[in-house]
Each structure stands twice: as structure tokens, then as C-alpha cells.
Amino acid sequence: MKIPLKYTLRNFKSRKLTTAITITGITLVVFVFAAVLMLAHGIQKTLVSTGMPDNVIVARKAANGEISSIILRDDYNTVLTLPYIAKNADGKPIVSGETVVIINLTKKSGGLSNVTVRGVAQEAFVLRPQLHIVEGRMFRPGAREIIAGAATNKNFIGAQIGSTVTFGGDQWTIVGRFDAGGSGFDSELWGDNNQLQDAFHRNGGYSTMTLKLDRADAFNAFKAAFSREQRLQEFEPKIEQKFFEEQSETMALFIRILGIFITIVFSFGATIGAMITMYAAVANRTVEVGTLRALGFRRRSVLSAFLMESLSIALIGGGIGIVLASFLQFFSLSTLNYGSFSELEFSFAMSPSIVIASIVFSLFMGFVGGFLPAVRAARLKIVNALRAG
């Protein structure tokens, strides 16, 4: 015979204060747990959105990122001979050889930080249709002009339209601000590739090259053709989204490890709070337990009732924690990305997997905190329980 669920729910009213304190503790732990996962997911989501599914980026195999890669012009021209590369109306390949360098700018919040400067060809804007000039104008080819991403424009001193930035032995004028749809490009400065190569004496080649496939499902065929070309064995093509996703792995892993460690420490307090609450519930309801047992309810029914009570408390706390964490999506952070060694702005991002993980984590705390008190309640002898009253 099972104990009705309303019995469990009714008992919340009998100890409002201790139940509220326990729920608050679990709420805070789940909030931190969800926030950590949202932070890591936000970095990955930002960098994945940086790439396009039909774009391929070619870089040197040994390179850890774009700044440590180099593609000589002869190798660049060899890639252009491969099939499956999309062409524009004039029959030219839609390819952008790009030079990537890192400079220092002063953050508005204080201190210096690294900013990526990307030298691009005009085809780069065909490859990245999510990028739009929202203020000012496009840089002129052949001029020492640059445009600033929305995040760079917002977070750095001197990254506004009309300002000049000194690097590469010359002054560069910021003539426009672009929006890249919340992707990693928003944290960059873009300029004419030939000018950037000249400033940094890199006329012999590019950092990477990005090309558009003639169809989205042609990557495997393109990669096979790429692998057969003996002159390109030092390089590796990757889907642009995958390339930038890999740039987020180190940072995301660090955040997860550090954040989950802190969460686990906090969870001990919440679990102990749940255990104290449930032990108090058992002590206050000893006669009730004896009466239930005398009426024919089995030990496992009593165990289930108290365990369900603990899980309900945990579920309520977990639900509130998830709701509170969801509001973090309205906030963004800017920090150094270990993959690219440059500043990256990103937002907290919620996902169904984070919601599920947070609920499971809260239920785990409720189970651990309620199991021993539930076992104690189930083991109470009928006579001793009734005498306690």
C-alpha cells in the first residue's frame, strides 16, 4: 500500500522555515552549476557562429591557431586549382587569403588586452554574409584604414570611428563599425590584407585561407582531393565552424573544471542542509510514522514518502535555480580566449542539455540528502514510534 502524494506535499507546511532554507541552498548551488555550464556553452556558441557550414579554412597542421599558421603564396595558388570551390559571377574562386596578427589595446575597464587584427580580401564579405557595416563605411583597399567589430568598438579605448590605432609601424584610421551577429568576428579589427602584409612584412604569404564550397555537402570530396595533392601535405582543411569550435575547447574546459569544482564544494553544504531538514522531519513525525506502519503501510512506502519529500524539495530548488540562471543570457563577458590569445566577447547561453544536467544535479543532492533520514524513518519500530508520542 502506497502513501498518497498529498501527504508528502502537506508536510511542507509544517516546517516552512527549514524547508525554505534548504530550497534556497539548493537554488544557489544549481544557479552556480548552471551558470558555469552556460558560460562554457556561451564561448562555444559564439565561436561556432563565427564560421559558416559551407566555408572551409585551410591552415598549417602544426599550428595551434591562425596566428601560428602560414601559407605561402605558391601553396595558396595550389589550393585554388582544387575542385569543389565556389566561383563568383566572374568565374573567380570565392577565396580570402587572410593575415592575422595580435595587437594591444587598452580596455575601458582598465588594463591592456590582445585584439585580433585580420587582413582580408573583398571576398571575405561574401564568405561571411552575417557581417554588416552598421556605422561609418567600409575600409578602402590600398589605404591604412580598418573597421572595428561591435565588441571591440564597445570595450576598447580608441576603437571608435575617427580614432587612430598605431601598430605595424604606422597609424590606422578606424572608418567603420561592423556587426557580425554575435560571432567571434565582433571582437576583431578588419583591414585590407595587402596593407596589413606590407606593415608586418609578410608579403610572402598568408596566415590562413578561407574558401566557399560549391555545395555544402562537398567537404569530404574536397578534402579527398586536397589529400591527394602532394604539395599540400603540410596543411589541413577544416569546416570553418569546426575550426573555430576547436579554438574554444581549452577555455571551455578550464571554465567547466574550475566551476564544477567550486559547485561540488558548495553542494556539500546544500546536501547537508537537506539531510538536516529531513532528519528533523523524521524526528517531528515519529508518531505519524508509527501510525502509518500500524495502518499497514510497508517500510518501503515510508522510505519512498520521505525520499520523495526530499526529492521534491530539491526539484523546487533546482527549478528556481535554472529560472534565475536563465536571466544571465542578457549579460555578456569579455575575456582572453586561450585558443586565439586575443580578447573575445561572449554571452551566457542556455541549452536543453544544461537544463537537464541541472535538474539531475539537484535531484542527486536531494537523493543523497534524503536517503539516510528516509531509511531511519522506515526502520522505526511501530511500538517505539507510537510510544514516542
How far CA 299 is from CA of 167, 296, 311, in Å, comes to 76, 9, 18
pTM of the model: 0.80
| Predicted local confidence at residue 269, as pLDDT | 78
Residues 16-39: tens digit of each pLDDT:
777 787 888 889 889 988 998 898
- What pLDDT is recorded for position 274? 72
Are 222 and 237 a contacting pair, CB within 8 Å?
Answer: yes
Contact 365, 267 (CB under 8 A): yes
Q: Which residues of the chain have pLDDT under 50?
A: 1, 4, 383, 385-386
Domain ranges of the chain: 5-48+247-387, 63-233
Summarised one tens digit per residue, pLDDT across range 280-328 is: 666 555 556 555 555 555 666 666 777 777 788 888 899 999 999 999 9
Which sign, positive or negative, has the C-alpha torsion 262, 263, 264, 265?
Answer: positive
CA-based nearest residue to 58, from 174, 217, 169, 223: 223
